[in-house]
Amino acid sequence: MQQIEFIPLEKLKLDNKNPRLPSNFNNKSENDIIEWMLEDESIIELMLAIGQHDFFVGEALLVVKNGDGFTVVEGNRRLTSLKLLSNPSLATIRVNKVKQVLEETTKRPKSIPCIVFDSKEQIMQYLGYRHVTGIKSWSVASKAKYLYSLLPTLKSEGIKSQSIELAKKIGSKSNYVKKLLVGYKVYEIIKDNNFYKIPQLNETTFHFNYITASLQHSNIREFIGIDEISNIDDLENLGIDEKQLSVLIDWFFRKNDQNRSRVLGNNDNLTKLNNILSNPEITEKFKNGLSLEESDDLINISENSFTQGLRKSLSELKKVREYSYKLKNGYSDDNIETLEEIVALCREIKISIDSKQDGWKL
């Protein structure tokens, strides 16, 4: 059983391969990582908690020996908070908030409880349970990145077998693991294409859950060339139509003059987009600029919609007829033009119906 050791703070180093970090941080300095971590408001809250109550032994850091020091594999947010409490000059952003924390707290832990492992791999299974399945859940992107990083360590081959092996290691379901792995592979393609040069879109602004959620919709999957997730067994050959994928990402992330994208990646909008992509004619209209809502309305038009519209129009016209009997003054030119437009529309609807079946005459 691993024992807790108390290690001097200055010997503890941040892990620049932490799954929560953007991939381009692999060779970044500790100062770069601390600055990135500080963008999260919760670091200030964590500093306050440690500075007021000291470091809880039950939250020991998980570390591996690295030269004359130790790399913290689990607990990088806590280590960042400890380093800032000890040396606030490390803060290049939120400087005033860090200073305020120092003024409001007294605890400055220097000897930190840690559990030392022989290798990083020994910690991975625990991390998978804790952050993918357990109570301290990472973001969907961090989970996927972590699972993807484990693929080279597995004995099995093929995504089906690898998903089962990973699921057993972390206490999860293989279909969930597989969905994350496929989603991350799609993300890698997007990243390799420089996020299709969409302004301000990068690793930190990309919503990974848009991808995993999209993969649950059959027409969206078909649009970008991906088979049913359960049928996939080769991550390197997903059969993705990269041109169509670039179109989808453009819909999700390119902003218009009102700072809005064409499709927000929530469940309602993805359902609408999936419906639209079931109809090639309406898909083309949407590609050419018709809004998501207007396109979805076209999909949902049915005989029932037509019948309800007719009945509602008839009810309103009956009311207008009653008003016409009771009006004492003459009708305005605008009223007459509106009536003529109604008659013209009725004739147009009648012609449309006559073109499909023998109908009544107006």
Chosen domain end from 100, 119, 138: 119
310 pLDDT band (50/70/90 cuts)? confident
Residue 75 maps to a domain? yes
User: Which DSSP category does 262 fall into?
Assistant: S
Within a domain: 252? no
pLDDT, residue 359, reads 47
CB atoms within 10 A of CB 5: 14
Phi, psi of 332 (to 5 degrees): -80, 165
Look at residue 135 in the predicted model and tell me its pLDDT: 56
Residue 189 CB partners (closer than 8 Å, separation 6+): 240, 242, 245
In a domain, 107, yes or no: yes
8 A C-beta contact, residue 194 and residue 200 = no
Strand 69-74, strand 12-14: pairing: parallel
pLDDT interval class at 360 (50, 70, 90): very low
66 domain residue, yes or no: yes
Could you list the residue range(s) of the whole structural domain that residue 326 is in?
Answer: 303-354
pLDDT in tens, 147-202: 998 898 888 999 999 999 988 887 788 999 999 999 999 999 999 999 999 999 99
Q: Are strands 69-74 and 4-8 parallel, antiparallel or unpaired?
A: unpaired
For residues 63-86, one letter each, b for 16 or more C-beta atoms within 10 angstroms of the residue's C-beta and e for the rest, the string is bbeeeeebbbbbbbbbbbbbbbbe
CATH number at residue 103: 3.90.1530.30
Instruction: Among 101, 119, 137, give the residue marking a domain's end.
Output: 119
Contacts of 70 (CB under 8 A, 6+ apart): 7, 11, 12, 13, 63, 64, 114, 116
Instruction: Determine, yes or no, domain membership for 315.
Output: yes
137 vs 48, 143, 174, 333, CA distance in Å? Answer: 22, 8, 17, 67
> Among residues of the chain, what percentage have pLDDT more than 70?
93
pLDDT in tens, 128-142: 666 676 656 678 888
Whether the model clears a pTM of 0.95, i.e. scores above it, the answer is: no
Asked if 185 contacts 176 with a C-beta cutoff of 8 angstroms, the reply is no
H or E element at residue 267: helix 267-276
> Rounded to an integer, what distance in angstroms lies between the CA atom of residue 74 and that of residue 60?
9
One-letter identity of residue 128: G
The number of folded domains in the chain is 2
Q: What is the pLDDT of residues 256-308, one digit of tens each?
A: 999 999 999 899 999 999 999 999 999 999 999 999 999 998 887 755 677 87
Question: Residue 23 is which amino acid?
Answer: S
- Give the pairing type, strands 4-8 and 61-66: unpaired
Rounded to an integer, what distance in angstroms lies between the CA atom of residue 105 and that of residue 53? Answer: 9
Do the domain assignments include residue 104? yes
For the chain, give the mean pLDDT: 89
